[in-house]
Amino acid sequence: MKKMLKACWNAFPGVKGKLGLVILLFFTVIALFGTWVAPYPKNFIGFDSWLPPSVSHWLGTDSYGQDVLSQMIYGTRTSFWVGILAGLITTVIGVTVGIVAGFKGGWIEESLMRIVDLFLIIPTLALMIILASFLPSMGTMSTILIIGSLSWLYMGRSIRSQTMSERQSGYVEAARMVGMKDWEIMFKEILPNITPVILANLVLVTTQAVLAEAGLSFLGLGDPTNVSWGTILALANANNAVLFHAWWWILPPGLAIAFFCFGFILIGNGILEKYRANRGNAAL
């Protein structure tokens, strides 16, 4: 057990990677056990409005008389899961498209990459807005699906170029000689070899998903019954928290988003740096 923990700890390279890991662990714990930690129930209204931070309300209350700390803790759960799940969907699509395009080459690659280039020009947020606003009802699941299915473009490109350089290496040639099928080479041979690149990308798309969720919620396109860091900020802005000096309503959600994403970016950067040092190339 101790050994396993130690191996996990060492898997995160460098000071930056370890700092990132600590930050992420903190948010994971809150996301998983938040319901027990939160001092008051979700969306509970009934305190005085605009209370500054105090012993009974560490982060004060908002204009509706909700405890900001409790809302923050419940919000962590939404933002966390949207980030992780949308990030995973993005990764699955991005990796599949990237590996297939990079390995198969020819017209398959050409057409896939044309599509990617085309969609890269059209702003993703605008596409998300039009999808989300025309949906009959918005739930957290649809947020995840919309973000997940629209964010894989950059990742697809990056995985493709990495696959192309792998395709030339000896082990792929060898696998072909032994008569392995294309899909076996792609997902059993190439995939494990580019895992660090995939992980680094996964980390990036997760942060983008968290930011996208915040953006959509801020625009009023999130799940109206749920609470996330984005909706907290949207309410704070809509209720002129600035004019009421309610910094305790504004600072925490923004800082939470920032630190959560920062943790991911640190880990991703650490992985990439180690990968580059090991391979001695900068083809990323």
Partner 1 sequence: MRYNSVYLVKRIGIALVTLYVAVTLNFLLPRLMKGDPASALASEKALGSQEVANALKAQFGLDNPSLWYQYAKYIKQLLHGNLGVSYANFPSPVADVMLKALPWTLGTVLTATLLSYLIGWLIGIRGAWKPGSLFDNSTLFSSFFLSSVPFFWIAIIFIMIFSFYLGWFPLGQAVDPAYDSFAWFDKAKSVLYHAFLPVFTLIIATLAGHILVLRNNLMRVLSEDYMLLAKAKGLRASRRKYMYGARNALLPSFTGLMTSLGHVIGGAITTEIVFSYPGVGMVTFNAILNHDFPLIQGSFLCIAISVIVCNLIADLVYPLIDPRVALN
Largest CA distance in the chain: 74
* Residues 276 and 284: beta-carbon distance below 8 Å: yes
Q: Rule CB under 8 A: is residue 214 a binding residue for partner 1? A: yes
DSSP code, position 190: I
User: Considering beta carbons, is residue 89 or 236 the nearer one to partner 1?
Assistant: 236
User: Considering beta carbons, is residue 66 or 208 the nearer one to partner 1?
Assistant: 208
Task: Specify whether the backbone of 205 is left (phi greater than 0), alpha (psi in -120 to 50) or beta.
Answer: alpha
Provide, rounded to whole angstroms, the least separation between the CB of residue 154 and partner 1.
10
Q: Rule CB under 8 A: is residue 191 a binding residue for partner 1? A: no
Q: Rule CB under 8 A: is residue 122 a binding residue for partner 1? A: yes
Among 59, 69, 221, 227, interactor with partner 1 by CB under 8 A: 221
- Minimal CA–CA distance to 102: which of 149, 159, 181, 63? 159
Could you tell me which residues come within 8 angstroms of residue 234 by beta carbon, excluding any fewer than 6 positions away?
A: 217, 218, 219, 220, 222
Provide, rounded to whole angstroms, the least separation between the CB of residue 10 and partner 1.
22
Q: What is the CB neighbour count within 10 angstroms for residue 182?
A: 12
Instruction: Provide the mask over 244-283, with x wherever binding to partner 1 is found by CB under 8 A and - wherever it is not.
Output: ---x--xx-xx--xxxxxx-xxx--x------------x-
Instruction: Give contact residues for partner 1 (rule: CB under 8 A).
Output: 117-118, 120-127, 129-131, 133-136, 207, 211, 214-215, 218-221, 230, 233, 236-237, 242-243, 247, 250-251, 253-254, 257-262, 264-266, 269, 282
